[in-house]
Structures are given as structure tokens and as C-alpha cells.
Structure 1
């Protein structure tokens, strides 16, 4: 049992040790997976005593779940305010019994796309993507936390915006698929980052390249059009 009072083999409580462990774990777990990662490897990467893992997290399992929560908080810091503002706008329209105009929906969706692209081409998102992709392939409790904490709320807003643009029911399967396809078209800039650089003949994504990608975000939104009915 972990004692409340530190001993010679138990680290003194230090928030910086927890942060170091979480930062290191996000990278190491993402690279090698849960089973392929040892507690010694995690402690060494964080530069802390091995006993810090059971002391702060109860063990490797607890650290893995805490790492997922940490990832949610990192992404939330980038998109949380935007998501809250858009959620409040949609809630206000619902309360007033009003529909979201297609023009406004396109503006909001373009803002989401540009924010997501900026985040996905950043260096810091590499470790995030590795962790999430592993959880996509073999979901655990960590995936549920990531999905409910970040993915589901954001996809839900995208779905509402896509539905307004397509003049369709946001709960319908076609709208759900179009929303997922839209998000996937942006995720490619992280999960296929090396291929993007090679195909575009870019050495890196700097300000000029990012501006090009932001223009593309507007094009992706502009390509969304209501399905035309059969000709009379």
C-alpha cells in the first residue's frame, strides 16, 4: 500500500514530477504501446524515481489512464474556448427555435478547420497522434476518455454545421458520414504528415505553408453543397 507520508524509497510530493511523468508517458506510450512500455522506461524518460509511478498514479495502469486525461486537457487548451463559444451559439439558436443559416455555418466550420489544421501540423501534436492512433486500433478505457472528452463534442458540433450547410437532418447517417469525412480530410495533415511534405515538396510547414492550408480549409467547406434532387 502507498503510504501518505514519504519514506526513503517514496518520492516527496512534487507536482513537477507528475507533469514530467505525464509528458514522458504521452510520448513513450504512443511509441511503444502499453504492453511494450516498462515502468523503468517511463521513469527514466521522465527523469524521476521509479517509485514515483505507484506513488502518484498507483501503477502503470493508472498512469496510462491519467495520460489519456492529460491528453484531453492539452487539446482542450487549444480548442476548448472555440468549442464552448460555438456550443453556446447553437444552444441559443435551439432555445429560440431558430435554424442556423448556411452562411454562418460555413464561417464557423471554416474556423474549426483552420484551428484544427494549425494544431495538427504543429510539432507538439506528433505524440498526441501516436497515442490516439494506438487507441483507435485497439480501444481501451483511455479511448473512451479521449472520445468523450474531445472527439465526440467536436464531431457533434461539426455535424450540426455540416447539416446546416447540407440542409439535412444532423442525426441522419449521410450527415454523420459527411462530418466524419470532413474531419478525416483535416486529420490527414497529422497522420500522413510525412507524405504531405513529400507530395508538396515542403521541408516543413512554416507560415507560408500554413496560409496555403488555411486557404484549403475554406475550399473544403465551400465544397460542401446540398444534394441536388433528380431533374424534373
Structure 2
């Protein structure tokens, strides 16, 4: 707590949030008092929230990439503990980072938008409007590509399940001039190349107008004999005696 109070580097404080959250959630080998540790954690979270926006005001590419990882880690840590900050305070800070008028690094804005989307703070319509603004004609292509990378890095599932958002990205790419496309193609290739092969196939299928196959799902009835076998297995796993009257 003393070190956190005198450390001006918000990034250092964000790096501490993850191990502290893990210790609070699962305990540690030293048997540290949870209440005392919780007080330290709360104090560090307050300092992070207060200093995060200024800390993201002017970052180069390497620093922005590191900050993107930290933003995700903090959200994961707050969710792990179901911390009060995850519901209001942290989303409010992320909304400032995602603001198109803030002129921050595209990676930061893109990841902040993705975290707000994943947490359910912003609905699909809000995210699509933010995406459209980031990829508008008035935004330099390199900034738009950085936003796309920040939003999509690591997973393309969101594009598979949100056809409207996929359309925004597709129309932006189609609108680029040859020179603009050449300037951003390496960045975009890195972003989309990190997706799982199945995700890339599904995205291509959607872009080519193919319908996504969906399973028929389960019927209304229950197969009593097959359900009986399942219940027997579950009883074995739980150590519950098997009786002749085990029926679904």
C-alpha cells in the first residue's frame, strides 16, 4: 500500500491488480489476511481509475499495445472478484478512452470499445455507431486499422455473430484507395491472421453471402432410456447409490 501510494506509474499499479485479485480469490501460501489485502486492492483500483485516462493520453505503438493488455487484465480481475468498480466506475473510464473526440491511440479506443461491448455496457447499436465513426472517411486509414486491431485482437467471434458490425468493416475496407489499403494491409493481416481458422472460414462465408448452418436443436420430448443412462452415470460421479427406480 505504501509503495502504491508513491508510485506515479499507472501501468505498474495495473500490473499489480491481477496477482492481488488472484490472491483475494484463491488465497496465498502466506495466509495473508483477506480483509487487509482487500483494502490494499481497493486503494490501488481507485488510483488506477483516477490516473488511467491521463496515462493513455500520449502513447507510442509499443506502449499502446502493452496498455491494451493491461486494460483487459483489469477488467478480468474486477470480474473475478465481482468488484463494485466493474459495474460503474471502470466502464465510465473505458467510455472516456473509447471517445472518438479524445484523439487517443486507435488500439486503446478499439480495446475500450470491445471491453464495453463484452461487459454488456454498450449494446450492439452503440458499438456499431462507434465503429462507423472510427472508420469514417475523415479518419486516417492507419488510425482506423489500429482501432480494428484493438477491438478484434485475439478473437473474431464478434464478427461472426454480428453481421451488421462485419458489414461496417467490409464497407470500410472496400472504400479504401489503393495507397491507403497498402498502408494498412500488414496491420490488418496481423489482426485477422490471429483468428482461429474456423472463424476466418465463417467470416468469409458470411462475406460471400453464404448462410450459416445452424443445428436443428433438441426436440420437445425426452428419450427416457438414454436419460436413464445419463442419470446412472451422474450418480456414479456423485457417489449416490444406484436404485432400480432411477428414471428421468
Shared fold (TM-score, shorter chain, > 0.5):
no
Tell me: higher relative CO, structure 1 or 2? Use CA pairs within 8 A at least 6 residues apart: 1
Point out the structure with max Rg over C-alpha. Answer: 2
TM-score by length of 2: 0.28
- Provide the TM-score with structure 1 as the length reference: 0.29
